[in-house]
């Protein structure tokens, strides 16, 4: 005759494995959210103080500052300069670090773009990523090379997702609705996008492909001033061009857009000058140090604005608000990635979850002439 | 068994607040998630984890080095109590318990029948009973740690645990004498 099993043993045995799933947010995601607020003083200390002190604290602080200021100005010679930390000090520090880095160069500016969107379901999330490249010649007489990979690749988003994907039989293709692109064809689970196609041809205008700030040639970009006043003057000229095209936003609203220049061929001194302009904007806020979608450490910057929203093709009347962040390379000041994060927990997404990104591949930057034809790539009439 | 020892202060005495926070998050986020999921289901668990660790960041210096997990779970418990309507939380947990039961039914593995019986029995208990039972069996807390989470003395917790255990045993007995579970198909979940 067997003994009746203990209720607690049975309960322990029935513990659902799903409890071990853990949050989909990484420590960096949480830290980025948490860093929006500095750690507070110990609440034990706060509770120990009478409340009246808290009310008088600002005045007392002001009085102490005034007293110190008077003492300093009267007694010290030469006068001491109080230099409190500025808002976005991390960006000013970054600008100081990169200001004197040597400028590099090459025959071509290579821009590698890797974008990703989440595809969730079946108990795990995959990141569907695509890749494209543009090789822009310094000399407009040389051909522009464009490459695009026609088949996207899906990879489990995290180690936990990989475990769940394996537990589900490790399907080699996934099909469903992309979060922000409507119905998607089935996507292979693979390390890299496949089926590379390229075009190569001379662009006699020598126009840089990113025209979000203004229309540039390589020579125009090289001539962007590093002097703060002259730089502002130049940015005003770009703004005037936009307004001539029918846009009516004020200069202050346009300025955050100029951050797109940080992904273009600028010298370190030019990037430093622009970063100082952006850091001084009242709408700019450093969120913190994060890991970008390609696993690189970067400075996450909120350039203000209202964020956006993700419209789900499968849920047409529902939208997920998202916040946009620019992630900068802490050693060069160049753009690492633009990332959108869920602004709240809804529609299967968790607040702070990456909902999409456009990253600059680590190969981006000045380089020599490309191989012609590029290895492993087929020529085509058009590359999107 | 889940009764692993919590890291002591020497493991987490990192000088940098960011490093301390990252270590805390890495060590305990899954435990906080598991607790929140067992109290309110997966739908709310993610948000509870975020909110709990935002509080942890703001009060980093207040977290006792030798009782970090109970502190975090108590914060999570307060968040669940203060931020969510009781009815919504209970509804979410009931849905989760139904899912777990269906998964146990679909699972032909060892002790599947017992697991189904105990999950059904648990679903029928009061919220307070569910909490004291799962804190010790599913979340690996000692009675002293669990008492700290629910905010009572160790002796009082033992009394509550004893009574909850008795009610669970009765509920299991009742569940076992009722109709045997039918196999069900668990939807695989369509990719969105």
Go through the domains of chain B in sequence order and give each one's CATH number. 12-83 (1.10.1740), 111-177 (1.10.10.10)
Residue of B nearest to A123 (CA): B189
Chain B residue numbers touching A43 (CB-CB < 8 A) = 59, 62
Burial class of B152 by CB neighbour count within 10 A (0 to 12, 13 to 18, 19+):
middle
User: Contact B85/B139 with Cβ under 8 angstroms?
Assistant: no
- Given A66, A84, A102, which residue is the final one in a domain? A84
**Does A99 lie in the same domain as A74?**
no
Q: How many domains, chain A?
A: 2
User: What is chain A's pLDDT, residue by residue, as a tens digit (384 residues)?
Assistant: 445 668 888 888 888 888 887 887 777 777 776 665 444 433 332 322 222 223 233 333 333 333 333 333 333 333 333 444 568 899 999 999 999 899 888 999 999 999 998 887 778 888 989 999 999 999 999 999 999 898 889 999 888 889 999 998 999 888 755 444 445 567 889 988 988 998 889 988 899 988 888 889 999 999 999 998 999 999 999 999 888 777 778 898 889 989 999 999 999 999 999 999 999 998 899 988 899 999 999 999 999 866 565 655 455 556 778 888 999 999 999 999 999 888 888 777 788 888 889 999 999 999 999 988 888 898 875 444
Q: Do B114 and A352 touch (CB under 8 A)?
A: no
**Has residue A111 been placed in a domain?**
yes
Could you tell me how many residues make up chain B?
192
Pick from A19, A30, A31: which is nearest to B37 by CB? A19
> pLDDT class for B177, splitting at 50, 70, 90?
low
* pLDDT value at residue B75: 92
B96 or A289, higher pLDDT: A289
Question: What's the average model confidence in pLDDT over B124-131?
Answer: 88
* pLDDT value at residue A321: 80
**Does A152 lie in the same domain as A70?**
no
Q: How many CB atoms lie within 10 A of CB A45?
A: 11
Q: Is A11 on the interface with B (CB under 8 A)?
A: yes
**Does A109 lie in the same domain as A217?**
yes
Burial class of A93 by CB neighbour count within 10 A (0 to 12, 13 to 18, 19+):
middle
**Has residue A1 been placed in a domain?**
no
Q: Is A176 on the interface with B (CB under 8 A)?
A: yes
* pLDDT value at residue A344: 82
**Does A169 lie in the same domain as A66?**
no
DSSP-derived letter for residue B4 is: P
Q: Do A34 and B59 touch (CB under 8 A)?
A: no
Identify the weakest region by mean pLDDT among A50-59, B47-56, B83-92: A50-59
* pLDDT value at residue A317: 57
* pLDDT value at residue B106: 65
Chain B residue numbers touching A19 (CB-CB < 8 A) = 33-34, 37-38, 138
Identify the weakest region by mean pLDDT among A80-94, B9-23, B101-115: B9-23
**Does A176 lie in the same domain as A63?**
no
Q: In angstroms, what separates the C-alpha of B164 from chain A's closest C-alpha?
A: 10
* pLDDT value at residue A21: 79
Which residues neighbour A33 within 8 Å (Cβ) at sequence distance 6 or greater?
A: A351, A352, B50, B54
* pLDDT value at residue B176: 63
Q: Is A25 on the interface with B (CB under 8 A)?
A: yes
Q: Which domain holds residue A241?
A: 90-379
Q: In angstroms, what separates the C-alpha of B87 from chain A's closest C-alpha?
A: 19
User: Contact A333/A309 with Cβ under 8 angstroms?
Assistant: no
Chain B residue numbers touching A35 (CB-CB < 8 A) = 18, 57
* pLDDT value at residue A61: 37
Q: Do B122 and A120 touch (CB under 8 A)?
A: no
Q: Which residues of B55-87 are buried (b: 16+ CB within 10 A; e: fewer)?
A: bbbbbbebbeeeebbbbbbbbbbebbeeebeee
Distance from chain centroid for Cα A303: 11
Interface of A with B in 298-327 (CB under 8 A): 312, 314
Which of B34, B50, B114 would you mutate first to test chain A, the one with the most A CBs within 10 A?
B50
Tell me how far apart the alpha carbons of residues A174 and A165 are, in angstroms, rounded to a whole number. 11
**Does A136 lie in the same domain as A64?**
no
**Does A316 lie in the same domain as A283?**
yes
Greatest mean pLDDT among A307-311, B99-103, B180-184: B99-103
Q: Compute the count of residue pairs across chains A and B with CB atoms less than 8 Å apart.
A: 153
For residue A291, the SS3 value is strand
Residue of B nearest to A343 (CA): B47
Structure tokens at B93: 């947990």
**Does A181 lie in the same domain as A147?**
yes
**Does A238 lie in the same domain as A107?**
yes
**Has residue A32 been placed in a domain?**
no
Q: Give helix B42-58 / helix B17-40 axis angle, nearest 10°.
A: 150
Chain A residue numbers touching B48 (CB-CB < 8 A) = none
Q: Do A43 and B47 touch (CB under 8 A)?
A: no
SS (H, E, C) chain A: CCCCCCHHHHHHHCCCHHHHCCCCCCHHHHHHHHCCCCCCCCHHHHHHCCHHHHHHHHHHHHHHHHHHHHHHHHHCCCCCCCCCCCCCHHHHHHHHHHCCCCCCCCCEEEEEEEEEEEEEECCEEEEEEEEEEEEEECCCCCEEEEEEEEECEEEECCHHHHHHHHHCCCCCEECCEECCCEECCCEEECCCCEEEEEEEEECCCCECCCCCCCCCEHHHHHCCCCCHHHHHHHHHHHHHHHHHCCCCCCHHHHHHHHHHHHHCCCCHHHHHHHHHHHHCCCCCEEEEEEECCCCCEEEEEECCCCCEEEECCCCCCCEEEEEEEEEECCCCCCEEEEEEEECCCECCECCCCEEEEEEECCCCEEECCCCCCCCCEEECCCCC
**Has residue A30 been placed in a domain?**
no
**Has residue A133 been placed in a domain?**
yes
- Given A84, A107, A134, which residue is the final one in a domain? A84
**Has residue A116 been placed in a domain?**
yes
**Does A130 lie in the same domain as A66?**
no
Residue of A nearest to B18 (CA): A31
Q: Shortest CA distance to A87 belongs to which of A279, A273, A256?
A: A279
pLDDT tens for residues A145-179? 999 898 889 999 888 889 999 998 999 888 755 44
Chain A residue numbers touching B30 (CB-CB < 8 A) = 20-23
User: What ipTM goes with this model?
Assistant: 0.78
Q: Is A167 on the interface with B (CB under 8 A)?
A: no
Question: What's the average model confidence in pLDDT over B112-122?
Answer: 83
HSE-up (13 A, CA, CB side) for residue A43? 9
Which of A2, A4, A6, A7 would you mutate first to test chain B, the one with the most B CBs within 10 A?
A7
**Does A362 lie in the same domain as A247?**
yes
**Does A80 lie in the same domain as A198?**
no
**Has residue A242 been placed in a domain?**
yes
């Amino acid at each position: 005759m067997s003994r009746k099993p203990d209720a607690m043993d049975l309960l322990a045995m029935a513990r659902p494995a799903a409890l071990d799933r853990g949050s989909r947010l990484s420590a960096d995601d949480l830290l980025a959210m948490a860093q929006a607020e500095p750690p507070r003083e110990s609440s034990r200390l706060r509770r120990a103080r009478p409340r009246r002190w808290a009310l008088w604290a600002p005045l007392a602080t002001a009085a102490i500052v005034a007293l110190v200021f008077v003492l300093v100005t009267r007694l010290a010679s030469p006068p001491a300069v109080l230099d409190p930390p500025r808002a976005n000090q991390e960006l000013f520090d970054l600008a100081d670090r990169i200001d004197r880095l040597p400028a590099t160069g090459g025959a071509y500016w290579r821009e590698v773009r890797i974008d990703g969107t989440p595809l969730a379901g079946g108990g795990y999330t995959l990141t569907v990523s695509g890749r494209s490249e543009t090789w822009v010649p310094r000399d407009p007489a040389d051909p522009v090379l464009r490459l695009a990979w026609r088949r996207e690749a899906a990879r489990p988003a995290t180690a936990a997702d990989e475990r769940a994907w394996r537990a589900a039989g490790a399907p080699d293709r996934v099909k469903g609705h992309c979060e922000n692109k409507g119905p998607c064809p089935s996507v292979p689970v693979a390390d890299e996008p496949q089926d590379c196609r390229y075009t190569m041809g001379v662009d006699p205008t020598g126009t840089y492909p990113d025209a979000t700030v203004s229309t540039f040639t390589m020579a125009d970009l090289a001539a962007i001033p590093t002097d703060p006043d002259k730089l502002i003057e130049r940015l005003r000229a770009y703004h005037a061009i936009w307004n001539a095209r029918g846009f009516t936003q004020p200069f202050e609203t346009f300025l955050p857009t100029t951050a797109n220049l940080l992904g273009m061929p600028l010298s370190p001194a030019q990037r430093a000058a622009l970063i100082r302009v952006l850091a001084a904007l009242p709408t700019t806020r450093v969120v913190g140090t994060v890991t970008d979608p390609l696993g690189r450490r970067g400075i996450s910057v909120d350039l203000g604005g209202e964020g956006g929203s993700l419209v789900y093709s499968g849920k047409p009347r529902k939208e997920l608000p998202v916040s946009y962040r620019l992630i900068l390379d802490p050693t060069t000041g160049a753009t690492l990635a633009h990332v959108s994060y869920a602004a709240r927990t809804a529609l299967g997404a968790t607040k702070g979850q990456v909902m999409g990104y456009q990253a600059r591949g680590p190969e981006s930057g000045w380089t020599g002439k490309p191989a012609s034809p590029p290895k492993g790539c087929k020529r085509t009439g058009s590359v999107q | 068994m889940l009764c692993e020892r919590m890291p002591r202060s020497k493991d987490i005495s990192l000088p940098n607040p960011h490093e301390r926070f990252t270590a805390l998050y890495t060590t305990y986020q899954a435990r906080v998630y598991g607790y929140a999921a067992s109290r309110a289901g997966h739908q709310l668990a993610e948000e509870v984890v975020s909110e709990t660790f935002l509080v942890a960041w703001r009060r980093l210096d207040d977290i006792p080095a030798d009782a970090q997990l109970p502190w975090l779970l108590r914060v999570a418990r307060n968040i669940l109590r203060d931020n969510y309507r009781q009815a919504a939380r209970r509804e979410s947990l009931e849905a989760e318990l139904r899912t777990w039961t269906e998964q146990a039914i679909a699972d032909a593995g060892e002790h599947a029948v017992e697991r189904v019986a105990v999950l059904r029995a648990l679903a029928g208990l009061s919220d307070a009973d569910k909490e004291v039972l799962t804190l010790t069996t599913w979340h690996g807390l000692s009675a002293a740690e669990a008492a700290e989470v629910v905010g009572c003395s160790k002796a009082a917790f033992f009394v509550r645990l004893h009574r909850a255990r008795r009610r669970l045993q009765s509920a299991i007995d009742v569940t076992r004498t009722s109709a045997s579970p039918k196999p069900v198909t668990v939807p695989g979940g369509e990719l969105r």
